Amino acid sequence: MQKRKLGHGNLEVSALGLGCMGLSHGYGPATDTGQAVTLIRAAVDRGVTFFDTAEVYGPYLNEEVVGEALAPVRDRVVIATKFGFTFGDDSKQQILNSRPEHIRWAVEGSLKRLKTDVIDLLYQHRVDPEVPIEDVAGTVKDLIAEGKVKHFGLSEAGVQTIRRAHAVQPVTALQSEYSLWWREPEQEILPALEELGIGFVPFSPLGKGFLTGAIKEGATFGSDDFRSKVPRFSPEAIRANQALVDLLGQIAKDKGVTGAQIALAWLLAQKPWIVPIPGTTKLHRLEENLDAASVELAHTDLGKIAQALADVEIQGDRYPAVLQTRVGR
């Protein structure tokens, strides 16, 4: 698979990474550990070198799975994880916490679970308004100096926070949602990243599964599936947003590929420093996603997609109100 570099830190990774969250968290029951390990190793065999996890996924379980899967090939892969929360008694309540002492505690735990002595890319998972971002960046800077971390990242941060953090410790990558049905980063985030030389890692590049075309009108989600709480997955929104999937499907048919592959290829075509991290629990979907890296979109193709997007008004917020307050800070 082709490689790309994230930011001026020259962190080289495969053009597509693997978002591992869904193997343990967010979309229903956790995948059997053996099956999850097999899938992650299948991604390595197919050229993926960039794997994304976080302590909050599970919590903790996903890091353990990723650590087990990648231990035999640790020298060939880049592992990204995240800090930024403490958990309530039931482990489901997520409380923002980026105090310096907590960052250090979290990193020690992540290193053990990931079976490694260094974290390649360490993100602040969400901005903590109670802790100056300079203190966060300074703590990660110290961890880099100590050899426990290689690169610093932010997730869902706003432009001013990115600039303040970058002034203390260069930010290698920002991870935020970006896809054909969530294009807000184009307004302020992408220009700032380009100016500062920071890479961009879009999560949910397939719209939490919607852009694959697999989620149809009438779809329902279990209480342990995050999408059950997302306004964009309400029955009314699914019905309205189907128009985008239909247009994608027609463009994909003309190219002889799938809608998911068009959605990923479109992201790759936006900037050479963008590295999407689609997730899946299924081998055939993994192979489908990875094949998107070889899909070439000409200017005419991108023009058709742009026109299609202009003709469709996406409905529904991407987060429930309680979580919306944690993004863009």
pLDDT digits (tens, 9 = 90+) for 203-253: 999 999 999 999 999 999 998 999 999 999 999 999 999 999 998 999 999
Angle of helix 100-113 relative to helix 61-70, nearest 10 degrees? Answer: 50
From the list 25, 211, 264, 33, the residue with the least C-alpha distance to 125 is 25
Share of residues in the chain with pLDDT > 90 (%)? 89
Residue with tokens 């936006």: 270
Output the six-digit token pair for 317: 């917020």
Under DSSP, the state recorded for 15 is: S
pLDDT at residue 88 is higher than 80: no
Average pLDDT over residues 85-114: 92
**Rg for the chain (alpha carbons), in Å?**
19
Domains of the chain: 3-324 (3.20.20.100)
pTM (two decimals): 0.97
What confidence tens digit (pLDDT) does each residue in 118-150 have? 999 999 999 999 999 999 999 999 999 999 999
From the list 292, 199, 263, the residue with the least C-alpha distance to 13 is 199
E strand or H helix that includes residue 272: none
Output the six-digit token pair for 5: 């570099």
Catalytic residues: 57
What confidence tens digit (pLDDT) does each residue in 303-328 have? 989 988 888 889 999 989 888 988 98
Query: In angstroms, rounded to a whole number, what is the distance separating the alpha carbons of residues 137 and 44?
Result: 31
Tally Cβ neighbours within 10 Å of residue 82: 25
